[in-house]
Each structure stands twice: as structure tokens, then as C-alpha cells.
């Protein structure tokens, strides 16, 4: 008999992509599986999930607003309304199991599931669990994690090391170096740094590249610089007339596999999903954790790699004026690069989506 599964959460691409990857894996394992997503109204999952071919129901829920305390006056009412709607969704859909990937909608849905005797699984992406997941973890059947040491947040017997689901097409880099460099109009005889701040971009990474742009021409090191849509036009204006011939500025990387394949060193933020991809790609990495995330979890994610000599970390407030120099020095240090490559490759867990999907179907029984 076909299983019915609810997948809840979202808010950012880092939550939505793993959720969709788990859904796809469930469909591969059993095409008859019925899947319903539950997200937060007004968040990007309400657009991305239907685009991936799945139905989604929205809850009117928000997080705690640190910048506008007035908006928090509605929060208790929204929580109660979301819990009531989550219960209604569960009654109507009659799921065999639920999955929470984090994000605003995950809390009310899993709380309702637990109260209605629906078994659920938590997919904790970060190395530092938030308060909601720690609380929900007590009733979870399984907690799928991507970092060691998570027994400080969850009951040890419920933890399963699966890694984070990744975009398979983004990490297929083998044998693509020549094609990749040609696609950017770069030379195969020179070393290349990739700087990526995600689809929206990262202000610190962009300021850091601007500050040391001339260094790449001076050191004869190529640069693929993904700015993000918020910064692209202003970066083009600021670099007009002074852009070295070996630097490529792009707003968005449609072919992440080619960007990764072209790179000898990668500079990135430290989101859990990004780190999961970088482990599979296995290139020397410099991580600049974003300071603008809850509980500073990007620093925790990065440190999990640094402790294994699998990445280099530079703090956000130290990056401007030094990040470019650090990338160039790492590209010149072949021994250090080889060590980082070997160590980050040893942390790769490329089949997380399938492993998690199998666990979901087990608890659904």
C-alpha cells in the first residue's frame, strides 16, 4: 500500500532543496508514494515546491522578529492558528509519517504530528541545532544529521549520520575542467579561484574581492566571481575600467558543476548545504561564515571542518583586505591544498537523500 508522507519546512534554499531532494528520493524508491509539503505563506517554498512538481499547503507563521518587536505581538496568535491548521492538514491527508527540515512551518507541523501519533523524522542540517529542533527531537523517531557530536542536542539512540542532501547535478565535476574553463573564457594553464556567495550574494565576499582585485592580475591567478543579484550592477559599475583580463564577474552560476570544476580553490559562505556539496567536490576551501544567521551556526559548521584540517576559516570581520591574499597563497601552497582536498573528501556523504528517504519509509511502517 502506498505511503503518504508530509514534508514540512523551508524559508531558505538551504532548507527547501534538501526537502525536495528527499521527496524525489521517496518517489524513486516507491513511485506510488503520496507527498504533501507544508510551508510558510510568503516564503520561497510556496513558489519553489510547486515548480518541482509537488503540492504545498501554507501556514501563516513567522519567526521571532529581532528588528521589529511590534510585529512579534501577532506571533502567539499565528502559532496557535498554525497549529490548528497543521492539525487539520494531518486529519485530511492522513500521513503515515512526517519529515521536518527546519524553517518556520516545521515546528507547528511536527508538534501537531507528535500530538496526533504520527511518527516523524527530523533532518538537522547544521552542526548546531536550534531550540525548536532540540525540543522536537525528544519525540522524533529519528534525527538525521550531517555533523558529528550532535548527541549534545539530541538523544544519542535517535541520531543517524546521513549527511545533507545535495544537488547531484551540481557536484558532477569529474572530467569537466577543460569544458569549464572554456565556458568562462579562461586559460587551462593558470590557476583559478572561485568566489561564491550564493544566489543573493554576500556583501563581505564582494567587498573583499573589490579591495584586492588588482592582486589577481599581479599574481596571474584567474578569478570567477559570483556576486549575487543584489550586488551585480554595483560591482560592474565599481570595476568598470579596472577589471583585470583574467577576472570573470557573474550574477548567478547556472552551471554550478562547471564553476566547481574550473576552480583550484573555492571561497564560500558556510551554509550546511554548501558544505555538503564542497565535501563531494573535494577542492581546497576557504570558508567565511555569515554572522547574520541564528545562533551563529555557520561558524559552527565551518569549525567542524577546520577541526579536521578540511577547510580554512576566516572571520567575516577580518576578510576585507586579506581574503584575496589568503586565496592566492593557498593556491600557491600545493602541499596544504592536497591536505585540505584529501581531508574534505573523506567527509563526503553523497547519497544522503536516499538514506533519509529509506528511513522515512521505515518509520512510516
Annotated binding site for UDP-N-acetyl-alpha-D-glucosamine, which residues?
12-14, 126, 167, 199, 298
Q: Can you name the residues that pair with 59 across neighbouring β-strands? A: 40
**Would you give the DSSP letter of residue 140?**
-
Per DSSP, 229 falls in state T
Report the greatest alpha carbon distance in the chain.
65
Among the listed residues 283, 235, 245, 239, the one whose alpha carbon sits nearest the alpha carbon of residue 261: 283
Give the residue numbers of the binding site. 12-14, 126, 167, 199, 298
DSSP-assigned letter for residue 304: H
Hey, how many other C-beta atoms are within 10 angstroms of the C-beta on 161? 13
Tell me the pairing of strands 247-250 and 312-313. Answer: unpaired
User: What separation in angstroms does the CA of 143 have from each of 194, 216, 361, 363, 365?
Assistant: 34, 44, 14, 12, 17
What are the C-alpha distances in Å from 22 to residues 53, 112, 182, 220, 278? 13, 21, 34, 43, 19
Q: How far is C-alpha 203 from the chain's CA centre?
A: 18
> What is the C-alpha separation between 219 and 32, in angstroms, rounded?
56
Q: For 72, which DSSP code? A: G
| Distance between first and last Cα of the chain | 10
Residue 231: name the closest of 266, 261, 195, 265 by CA: 195
SS3 content of the chain, % helix, strand, coil (to 5): 45, 15, 35
Residues of 257-273 as b/e, b for ≥16 C-beta within 10 angstroms? bbbbbbbbbbbbbbbbb
> What is residue 154's DSSP assignment?
S
Amino acid at each position: 500500500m502506498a505511503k503518504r508522507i508530509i514534508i514540512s519546512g523551508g524559508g531558505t534554499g538551504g532548507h527547501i532543496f534538501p526537502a525536495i531532494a528527499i521527496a524525489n528520493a521517496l518517489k524513486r524508491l516507491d513511485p506510488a508514494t503520496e507527498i504533501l509539503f507544508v510551508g510558510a505563506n510568503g516564503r520561497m517554498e510556496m513558489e519553489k515546491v510547486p515548480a518541482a512538481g509537488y503540492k504545498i499547503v501554507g501556514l501563516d507563521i513567522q519567526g521571532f522578529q529581532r528588528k521589529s518587536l511590534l510585529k512579534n505581538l501577532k506571533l502567539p496568535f499565528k502559532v496557535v492558528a498554525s497549529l490548528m491548521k497543521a492539525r487539520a492538514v494531518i486529519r485530511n491527508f492522513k500521513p503515515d509519517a512526517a519529515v521536518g527540515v527546519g524553517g518556520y512551518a516545521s515546528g507547528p507541523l511536527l508538534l501537531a504530528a507528535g500530538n496526533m501519533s504520527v511518527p516523524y523524522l527530523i533532518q538537522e542540517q547544521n552542526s548546531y541545532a536550534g531550540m525548536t529542533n532540540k525540543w522536537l527531537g525528544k519525540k522524533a523517531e529519528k534525527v538525521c544529521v550531517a555533523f558529528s557530536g550532535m548527541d549534545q542536542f539530541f538523544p544519542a539512540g535517535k541520531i543517524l549520520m546521513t549527511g545533507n542532501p545535495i544537488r547531484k547535478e551540481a557536484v558532477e565535476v569529474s572530467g569537466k575542467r577543460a569544458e569549464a574553463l572554456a565556458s568562462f573564457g579562461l586559460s587551462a594553464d593558470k590557476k583559478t579561484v572561485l568566489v561564491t556567495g550564493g544566489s543573493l550574494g554576500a556583501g563581505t565576499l564582494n567587498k573583499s574581492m573589490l579591495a584586492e582585485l588588482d592582486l589577481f592580475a599581479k599574481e596571474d591567478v584567474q578569478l570567477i566571481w559570483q556576486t549575487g543579484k543584489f550586488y551585480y550592477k554595483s560591482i560592474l559599475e565599481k570595476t568598470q575600467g579596472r577589471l583585470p583580463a583574467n577576472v570573470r564577474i557573474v550574477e548567478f552560476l547556472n552551471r554550478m558543476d562547471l564553476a566547481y570544476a574550473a576552480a583550484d580553490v573555492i571561497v564560500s559562505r558556510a551554509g550546511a548545504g554548501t558544505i555538503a556539496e564542497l565535501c563531494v567536490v573535494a577542492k581546497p576551501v576557504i570558508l567565511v561564515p555569515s554572522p547574520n544567521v541564528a545562533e551563529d551556526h555557520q561558524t559552527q559548521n565551518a569549525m567542524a571542518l577546520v577541526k579536521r584540517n578540511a577547510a580554512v576559516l576566516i572571520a567575516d570581520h577580518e576578510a576585507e583586505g586579506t581574503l584575496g591574499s589568503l586565496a592566492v597563497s593557498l593556491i600557491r601552497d600545493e602541499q596544504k591544498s592536497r591536505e585540505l582536498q584529501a581531508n574534505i573528501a573523506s567527509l563526503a556523504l553523497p547519497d544522503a537523500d536516499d538514506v533519509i528517504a529509506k528511513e522515512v519509509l521505515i518509520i512510516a511502517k
